[in-house]
């Protein structure tokens, strides 16, 4: 419990995050190398899609991450609104650009995959469309945060927006699905057993863990910067700036 209280203080967070970043980076790098090796060299060729299916090892983890990060942001937003916790705000604000990049990556890899499979870069298919709107929700959060000058006000406004967005996401997803579906059905499921060869599934899961650790690393780096920016008038930040402490 004490550990969590310490994490909630910007100064301790700054130090703890600084110690964790190299470890998160190393783990993510190892997992990334392992996952790519398994995905590109070990996993068998798909009998229908040939070699081009291998982009799945980037595409699917990126799409998962884009949703996972939005969820994290909504949770951080709720924590911020209820307990006025500074660090929750920092996590929310620092996560938004990372999530947006993952959503963008999922869209780009999806369209690269769509070209050989469906014969076109873009189709107005349910999942592509809801991923696109997820990207717009991220961009809205980033834009709102940029537009409000006072950091605390911006953080709280963004918390509300993240919560409104998280209620709307399933509705948007469901309605878009009603509207049109061409996308291949989900092939990975935890409960019902996957419809995928385990040699393909393993690299997929490894890659998704690699992405998670990568997110952790980038989040901590961004959050450290954000903390420094917010606390720039305190003595401990000044000490760091003057090179007396790290």
Partner 1 sequence: MKSKLSLGSAFGLLLKRDLILAMRRRSEFVNPLLFFVLVVALFPLAVGSDPNLIRKIGPGVIWVSALLASLLTLDNMFRSDFEDGTLEQYMLSAHPVSILVVAKVIAHWLITGLPLILVAPLLGVLLSLPSDAIMVLILTLLLGTPVLSLIGSVGVALTVGLRRGGVLLSLLVLPLYVPVLIFATDAVNTAAIGIPITAQLSIIGAMLFLALALAPLATAASLRISLS
Which structure tokens are listed for 66?
A: 């884009």
Please identify, using beta-carbon distances, which residue of 29 and 144 lies nearer to partner 1: 144
Please identify, using beta-carbon distances, which residue of 153 and 184 lies nearer to partner 1: 153
Site string for partner 1, 78-107 (x = CB under 8 A): ---x--------------------------
Residue selected from 1, 41, 171, 190 as contacting partner 1 according to rule CB under 8 A: 171
Site string for partner 1, 116-145 (x = CB under 8 A): -----------------x--xx-xx--xx-
Residue selected from 178, 192, 233, 242 as contacting partner 1 according to rule CB under 8 A: 178
Based on the shown chain and the rule CB under 8 A, indicate whether residue 157 belongs to the binding site for partner 1: yes
Please identify, using beta-carbon distances, which residue of 162 and 210 lies nearer to partner 1: 162
**Closest Cα to residue 56, out of 165, 178, 158, 186?**
186
CB of 137 to partner 1, least distance (A): 5
**Closest Cα to residue 179, out of 101, 229, 126?**
126
Cα R_g (the chain), whole angstroms: 20
Residue selected from 33, 37, 168, 199 as contacting partner 1 according to rule CB under 8 A: 168
CB of 129 to partner 1, least distance (A): 8
Q: Give the Cβ contact number of residue 23 at 10 Å.
A: 12
Q: How far is CA 166 from the centre of its chain?
A: 14
**Closest Cα to residue 221, out of 44, 3, 47, 28?**
28
CA–CA separation, 156 and 88 (whole Å): 10
CA–CA separation, 13 and 17 (whole Å): 6
Q: Tell me if residue 124 falls in helix, strand or coil.
A: coil
Residue selected from 59, 156, 212, 224 as contacting partner 1 according to rule CB under 8 A: 156
How many residues lie near partner 1 (CB under 8 A)? Answer: 27
Which structure tokens are listed for 185?
A: 């059905």
117 near 109, Cβ under 8 Å? no
Based on the shown chain and the rule CB under 8 A, indicate whether residue 175 belongs to the binding site for partner 1: yes
Please identify, using beta-carbon distances, which residue of 175 and 234 lies nearer to partner 1: 175
Based on the shown chain and the rule CB under 8 A, indicate whether residue 196 belongs to the binding site for partner 1: no
Q: Name the segment binding partner 1 (CB under 8 A); options: 21-29, 86-94, 175-183, 207-215.
A: 175-183
211 near 69, Cβ under 8 Å? no
**Closest Cα to residue 85, out of 143, 152, 138?**
152
Residues making contact with partner 1 (CB under 8 A): 81, 133, 136-137, 139-140, 143-144, 147-148, 153, 156-157, 160-161, 163-165, 167-168, 171-172, 174-176, 178-179
């Amino acid at each position: 419990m004490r550990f969590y209280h310490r994490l909630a203080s910007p100064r301790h967070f700054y130090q703890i995050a600084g110690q964790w970043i190299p470890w998160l980076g190393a783990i993510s790098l190892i997992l990334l190398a392992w996952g790519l090796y398994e995905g590109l060299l070990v996993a068998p060729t798909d009998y229908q899609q040939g070699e081009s299916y291998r982009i799945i090892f980037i595409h699917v983890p990126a799409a998962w991450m884009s949703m996972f990060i939005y969820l994290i942001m909504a949770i951080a937003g709720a924590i911020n609104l209820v307990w006025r916790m500074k660090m929750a705000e920092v996590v929310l604000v620092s996560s938004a650009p990372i999530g947006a990049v993952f959503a963008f990556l999922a869209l780009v890899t999806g369209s690269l995959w769509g070209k050989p499979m469906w014969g076109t870069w873009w189709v107005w298919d349910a999942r592509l469309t809801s991923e696109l709107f997820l990207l717009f929700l991220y961009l809205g959060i980033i834009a709102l945060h940029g537009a409000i000058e006072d950091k605390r006000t911006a953080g709280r406004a963004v918390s509300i927006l993240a919560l409104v967005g998280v209620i709307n996401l399933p509705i948007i997803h469901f309605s878009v699905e009603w509207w049109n579906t061409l996308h291949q059905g989900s092939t990975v499921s935890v409960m019902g057993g996957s419809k995928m060869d385990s040699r393909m599934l393993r690299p997929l899961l490894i890659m998704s863990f690699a992405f998670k650790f990568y997110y952790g690393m980038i989040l901590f780096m961004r959050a450290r910067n954000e903390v420094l920016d917010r606390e720039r008038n305190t003595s401990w930040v000044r000490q760091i700036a003057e090179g007396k402490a790290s």
